[in-house]
């Protein structure tokens, strides 16, 4: 019997077989242990939260409860829009005291009325508490600048710089074109700011069209000019044939030219030659 051959068979036979891992092996047991640790952690967290909540309730309700509100608090009355003296009376009736008074301009609240207060209306306060109020001084007022006969663009700048709102209308006037004829409210009137000022700006004198006078006799042409507010200027005499004697043969300016009333017109009238 060979000893080497026997050992070789024993090793070969043992190496050819694998033992099955029984149930409850270390690998499967490790997975179950992790789930168990997670459950323990969640349970400990829940217990800690419950314990904290119970402790908070006990501390705030049993050991250190909040003091009850004073039974003698009073409600602050609303003073807005009330005269200062009447507001002081309301405070006194509620057991409160009128405190410092501030004042400021307000565009719509009349002078002497209360704009605001501190503490606010409806809040609770101890008797004797001071209530600070802000009183209106009313809107700011200014006189309307005198811009009569001033160029319209300059007048608008002056008024808007002073805090006024400007509206421009145009009117026919003998004042040169583009100048202020009137303001409403009138110049130097004291008004609240901001206020609207209406400017009436001149369009110049009313315009008429130069009529066609050629062929008219001199007297009739003069009557037409007078009816339109135009003035007969120089009258020249020019030699013309007998058919044109005493009639207008030239005019300046020509027909249909826009003219201001009072403008002068030059005519040429036919005369017999010497």
pTM above 0.75, yes or no: no
Per-residue pLDDT, 145: 95
**Who wins on pLDDT, 44 or 126?**
126
Residue 177 vs residue 131, higher pLDDT: 131
Q: What is the pLDDT of residue 67?
A: 65
In order of start, what are the domains of the chain with their CATH numbers? 74-138 (3.30.10.20), 141-202 (3.30.10.20), 207-271 (3.30.10.20)
Q: What is the pLDDT of residue 43?
A: 80
CB burial string 74-109: b at 16+ within 10 A, e below? bebbebeebebeebbebbeebebebeeeeeeebeeb
What pLDDT is stored for residue 272 in this prediction?
86
Tokens 């409806």 found at? 122
Structure tokens at 109: 């609240």
Beta strands in 54-122 (DSSP E): 74-75, 97-104, 114-118
User: If you average pLDDT over every residue of the chain, what do you get?
Assistant: 85
User: 112 with 79: CB under 8 angstroms?
Assistant: no
Q: Which residues contact 118 (CB under 8 A, 6 or more apart)?
A: 131, 132, 133
What is the 3-class SS of 173-197, one letter each residue?
A: CCCCCCEEEEEECCCCCEEEECCEE
Residue 36 above 90 pLDDT? no
Q: Are strands 231-239 and 264-271 parallel, antiparallel or unpaired?
A: parallel
Mean pLDDT check: name the lowest of 8-12, 94-98, 171-175, 202-206.
8-12
């Amino acid at each position: 019997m060979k000893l080497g051959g026997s050992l070789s068979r024993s090793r070969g036979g043992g190496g050819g077989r694998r033992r099955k891992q029984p149930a409850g092996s270390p690998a499967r047991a490790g997975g179950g242990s992790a789930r168990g640790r997670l459950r323990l952690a969640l349970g400990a967290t829940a217990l800690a939260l419950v314990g904290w909540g119970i402790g908070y309730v006990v501390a705030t309700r049993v050991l250190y409860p909040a003091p009850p509100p004073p039974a003698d608090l009073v409600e602050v009355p609303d003073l807005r829009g009330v005269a200062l003296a009447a507001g002081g009376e309301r405070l006194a009736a509620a057991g409160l005291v009128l405190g410092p008074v501030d004042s400021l301009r307000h565009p719509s609240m009349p002078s002497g009325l209360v704009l605001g207060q501190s503490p606010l209306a409806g809040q609770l306060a101890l008797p004797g508490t001071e209530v600070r109020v802000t009183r209106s001084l009313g809107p700011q007022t200014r006189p309307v600048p005198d811009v009569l006969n001033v160029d319209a663009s300059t007048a608008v700048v002056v008024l808007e710089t002073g805090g006024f709102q400007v509206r421009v209308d145009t009117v026919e006037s003998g004042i040169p074109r583009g100048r202020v004829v009137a303001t409403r409210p009138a110049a130097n009137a004291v008004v609240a700011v901001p206020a609207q000022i209406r400017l009436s700006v001149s369009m110049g004198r009313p315009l008429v069209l130069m009529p066609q006078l050629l062929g008219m006799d001199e007297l009739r042409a003069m009557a037409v000019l007078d009816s339109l507010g135009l003035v007969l200027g120089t009258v020249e005499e020019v030699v013309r044939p007998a058919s044109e004697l005493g009639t207008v043969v030239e005019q300046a300016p020509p027909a249909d030219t826009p003219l201001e009333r009072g403008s002068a017109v030059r005519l040429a009238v036919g005369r017999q030659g010497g």
